Structure 1
Amino acid sequence: MPTPPSLRFDNAFVTSLPGDPETGRHVRAVEGALWSRVAPEPVAAPRMLAWSADMAARLGLDPGWMRTEAAAEVLAGNRLLEGMAPFASNYGGHQFGHWAGQLGDGRAIGLGEVLDPGGRRWELQLKGAGPTPYSRSADGRAVLRSSLREFLCSEAMHHLGVPTTRALSLVGTGEQVVRDMFYDGHPAPEPGAVVCRVAPSFIRFGHFELPASRGDVDLLRTLVDFCIARDFPHLQGTGESLLGDWFGEVCERTAVMVAHWMRVGFVHGVMNTDNMSILGLTIDYGPYGWIDDFDPDWTPNTTDRQHRRYRFGQQPQVAYWNLSRLAGALSPVFDGHEALQAGLRRFVDAYGAADRGNTAAKLGLSACRDEDLDLMQALRDLLKAGEVDMTLFFRHLADIDPDAPSLDGFDDAFYDASRRASVEAALGEWLRTYAARVAGDPLPAEHRKALMDAANPQYVLRNYLAQEAIDLAHGGDMSRTEALLAVLGHPYDLQPGREAFARRRPDWARDRAGCSMLSCSS
């Protein structure tokens, strides 16, 4: 029998920052504190459904132990390991552009901060572990449907090279959770689950916004100092210079993260400020989605169906808006606005540089000229008009013959024959222009293909793939989840025998719930 892990806990968040003097799960306004002590609520029959071998290895967890009932109990919240100090953190946020006041961890409970064998810090957090003082009218639970999506996407994004929180495990609770999936008055019971999320820090923009909104400058300053010392220890200097460097790095990290989203076709779906990581990590996988047929106006979130605030093409602008809200919250601890404005400019510069780098890589060019941005935009316009699959088109683009460019190898990237016919001539002309640009570029052909294949994934977690895994998991079959985890661990490599995972969205999934539009209900 594998022995329980001996993890080194260094719970700096709860030992260094002021906590809520009240205890218990009852809902309340928590002022003057950044966290509340609360333990996970035990579940009926925890069962390990899936776990990330990569993340377990980073934490120094024995694979044998991960397969035990004891591991399921710990990672469902039924028992605590020595050193764990469970808590829920307190934050606010702007939701869909409007200030929402206190929000907090309504169904996420931090277990503590672990130092891995290499000394790196990781916070373990259970999502769906029961009610907290921030649950409002909710039950603090999560359903298997959304938990499986978060588990898979966290790991898929990591292997795509996108800054992200990670997932260690997915545990079934043996209980039913009632949810109204589309808020249409038809609630139904669904299997419950708990995800163990992992990140160096779960501090969000909203952690700073809440004390600022209450005029609690001392608490705000305490949090800023703590965040810099723990999460940005490489920054040197003092006073305004240090603060400016810190905010500028937050802006730059956010720009790099969103640029990666745009590169791989990911749509977050709920870019509220309480869902924005101070480390520039993708956090809170709710109604996300991948672009199938290219459409910059697409959002997977039913709540956002009317205004499409968080649509694919607007994500960079929303990130800037969110950073502007963070800048406003931080202004009381800055001497003036100059350093904050410089940080926001750093976002613009960093995103522009990342976008140019992505353009060069996706097109296989040694560098991105100004005219290449126009070339890329012209392609995007044609992909939208022709209802062309983004992932497949860019992957195939690496294989064209610059001496005889044609659309012959792109058949599986088109969703509709009539839409293809409407753009075929223009796309052919674009390919000839592109081929001429490639012919004049100094990058050797073999290097061009390697560059493109490293920027344009072969496999992404399309919504229909996740839904197929969910359907099987509801019947107790985790084989598709395990297969996806394996495939998505190498998203840029050709994997013989796994071609089915690279196919475009099938027609049956075009309008099916979970495959086209999703809700925040989980």
Structure 2
Amino acid sequence: MISNLNVQDRFNKELPADPTTENGRRKVMEACFSYVKPKATANPRMLHVSPEMLDELGLTATDAQSEAFVQVLSGNEIQPGTNPYAMCYGGHQFGNWAGQLGDGRAINLAEVEHEGKHWVLQLKGAGETPYSRTADGLAVLRSSIREYLCSEAMYHLEVPTTRALSLALTGDQVLRDALYDGNPEYEKGAIVCRVAPSFLRFGSYEIFAARRDAKTLRTLVDYTIKHHFPHLGEPSKETYLQFFKEVGQKSIDMVMHWQRVGFVHGVMNTDNMSILGQTIDYGPYGWLEGYDHGWTPNTTDFAQKRYRYGTQLQVALWNLNQLANALYPLIGQTEALEAALKELSDGLEPARLDMMKSKLGLFEADKNDAQLVEALETVLQRSETDMTIFFRNLADFKKDGTANGLSLIANAFYRPDEITGALEEEWKAWFMKYEDRLEQETKNEGERKAAMNGVNPKYVLRNYMAQLAIDAADNGDYSVLDELFDLLKLPYAEQPDNEKWFDKRPEWAKHKIGCSMLSCSS
């Protein structure tokens, strides 16, 4: 038993449960969850624990070093007074209704309260559930490292996200086909303990609307508002509409943050969209290296590129349309929902322009700013240009003409020899316009640089960096994991001792599995 956990379960006490308690694959009707116990692991070992999340939960380093901590967070023991469960939900996957999905490899252990905050502890990779379909419900070390590092990195980037408490090896071997190419191999099993105020997602509501189960839908929506949107007041059609509007804005704000830092989720299905507007389910994600609106890290999406960087905002809106359809039985007002969606849609371009202007250090109004941003995005994609390095270095540009723009960003180009002739002239022309535009700014150089460095990170979890941590961990070396975890706590700081991580993707990583090619098993 982890003695200092203040367990305060409510999801599995206030919502309808699946009456069948045996752990077999099945359709679960008129229930929000199924009780299920994690699968026992052979020889669990804790690899890493987030000190920040320990503190959030009211736990100490001493707690994290206990045998009980290892056993509970690897699924080997059940915390007394708890009743673990897997959630039922559906979803649209790559634009098509997939029916019942649910927590196929996630098990909610308990809900915890500390200092006025409520958290759900969820194990990812802890075994089969009624929603596992043909899968084993397990996870491997590489995907677990990626989830653990990225969720905490996103938090420090100030991107809304679920968190991670711990990363453990299970001692088991798990068979995985990394690229779905018919070549499965055994890999080290691992479990991440994810933490969030809730793991409800759009698909949690879609499943009941699709089944015309208005009773359970209303029960779940009322529960959600009561515990996560209490300021909206008592349930009513107007409350449900305001609930949708708020979820919509939170979702758009989240994706705008993704765009700001160059994050690509890779699989924006409606079952991967948090109702709280938090980044959830870190699978085949990646960070833009070369600035490219068409890039996606997901091999499954290479042909369609539905979830590429440049479409993430539009996909969020599409997903919100599906949520609106799911909530319609409770609201019954087509025009009101359509108006809410239109308001969100109309706000996309102005909000994106404001975000891009912040990255450029432009804070005054100018009618030509949209054209300036468009011209930049065009020239950025003429030759492979590193997004993170470009925007970070741009903060050193001087509006008095003493700093040459191209020399400032030279190390952002993957092929510097391509920046000649017409392309070089295009870059020079853009910098001239940028210099002219900066003359309108009232912030001094120091203030502008500080503001730009506050939105343009110096360090992100580049795909090759995560792979280096994975490769080392596969060989029993966890020093890279430790180093990156600490590095990514201060993504906007200079960190002179860590300059080696402020560099372009190495050539070996351009086409390496795990760096540029990822699947849903990643």
Q: TM-score category by the smaller chain?
A: over 0.9
Is the Cα contact below 8 Å between 1:49 and 1:171 reproduced in 2? yes
Is the Cα contact below 8 Å between 2:4 and 2:58 reproduced in 1? no
| Alignment of 1:452 onto 2:452 | yes
Question: 1:515 — aligned with what?
Answer: 515
Helix, strand or coil for the counterpart of 1:175? strand
Aligned mates of 1:82, 1:349 — CA distance in 2:
50
Aligned mates of 1:368, 1:292 — CA distance in 2:
30
How high is the sequence identity, in percent, across the aligned residues?
A: 52
Is the Cα contact below 8 Å between 1:299 and 1:310 reproduced in 2? yes
AA matched with 2:280: I
Question: 1:339 — aligned with what?
Answer: 336
AA matched with 2:171: G
| Alignment of 1:60 onto 2:58 | yes
Aligned mates of 2:38, 2:367 — CA distance in 1:
54
**Structure 2 unaligned residues grouped into runs of 5+:** none
Helix, strand or coil for the counterpart of 2:239? helix
Aligned mates of 1:512, 1:159 — CA distance in 2:
27
Aligned mates of 1:421, 1:113 — CA distance in 2:
59
Pick from 6, 9, 16 the counterpart of residue 7 of structure 2: 9
Aligned mates of 1:219, 1:238 — CA distance in 2:
14
Following superposition, the deviation at residue 158 of structure 1 comes to 0.5
AA matched with 2:111: E
Following superposition, the deviation at residue 6 of structure 1 comes to 2.4
Question: 2:468 — aligned with what?
Answer: 468
Aligned pair in 2 of structure 1 residues 39, 389: CA closer, same or farther (>3 Å)?
Answer: same
Helix, strand or coil for the counterpart of 1:367? coil
Following superposition, the deviation at residue 77 of structure 1 comes to 0.7
Is the Cα contact below 8 Å between 1:357 and 1:367 reproduced in 2? no
Following superposition, the deviation at residue 30 of structure 1 comes to 0.4
Helix, strand or coil for the counterpart of 1:455? coil
Question: 1:322 — aligned with what?
Answer: 319
Is the Cα contact below 8 Å between 1:360 and 1:368 reproduced in 2? no
Alignment of 1:23-34 (within 5 A): 23-34=21-32
Following superposition, the deviation at residue 479 of structure 1 comes to 0.6
Following superposition, the deviation at residue 326 of structure 1 comes to 0.8
Question: 2:71 — aligned with what?
Answer: 73
Helix, strand or coil for the counterpart of 1:491? coil
Alignment of 1:54-453 (within 5 A): 54-116=52-114, 118-236=115-233, 238-404=235-401, 405-421=404-420, 423-453=423-453
Aligned pair in 2 of structure 1 residues 76, 370: CA closer, same or farther (>3 Å)?
Answer: farther
Aligned mates of 2:452, 2:94 — CA distance in 1:
35
Is the Cα contact below 8 Å between 1:251 and 1:347 reproduced in 2? yes
Helix, strand or coil for the counterpart of 1:9? coil
Is the Cα contact below 8 Å between 1:252 and 1:350 reproduced in 2? no
**What per-residue deviation string (whole Å, max 9, x for no partner) do you get for residues 80-122 of structure 1?**
2223220000000000000000000000000121111x12111
Following superposition, the deviation at residue 350 of structure 1 comes to 4.7
Aligned mates of 1:500, 1:240 — CA distance in 2:
55
Aligned mates of 2:346, 2:247 — CA distance in 1:
13
Aligned mates of 1:363, 1:409 — CA distance in 2:
14
**What per-residue deviation string (whole Å, max 9, x for no partner) do you get for residues 281-339 of structure 1?**
00000000000011100000000011100000000111000000111111111131133
Aligned mates of 2:365, 2:103 — CA distance in 1:
42
Following superposition, the deviation at residue 444 of structure 1 comes to 2.0
Following superposition, the deviation at residue 357 of structure 1 comes to 2.8
Aligned mates of 2:395, 2:133 — CA distance in 1:
51
AA matched with 2:434: Y
Helix, strand or coil for the counterpart of 1:170? strand
Helix, strand or coil for the counterpart of 1:112? strand
Following superposition, the deviation at residue 233 of structure 1 comes to 1.2
Is the Cα contact below 8 Å between 2:94 and 2:306 reproduced in 1? yes
Pick from 17, 32, 35 the counterpart of residue 33 of structure 2: 35
Helix, strand or coil for the counterpart of 2:193? strand
Q: CA RMSD in A?
A: 1.3
Helix, strand or coil for the counterpart of 1:498? helix
Following superposition, the deviation at residue 193 of structure 1 comes to 0.3
Aligned mates of 2:338, 2:259 — CA distance in 1:
25
AA matched with 1:25: N
Following superposition, the deviation at residue 69 of structure 1 comes to 3.0
Aligned mates of 2:110, 2:272 — CA distance in 1:
20
Aligned pair in 2 of structure 1 residues 210, 438: CA closer, same or farther (>3 Å)?
Answer: same
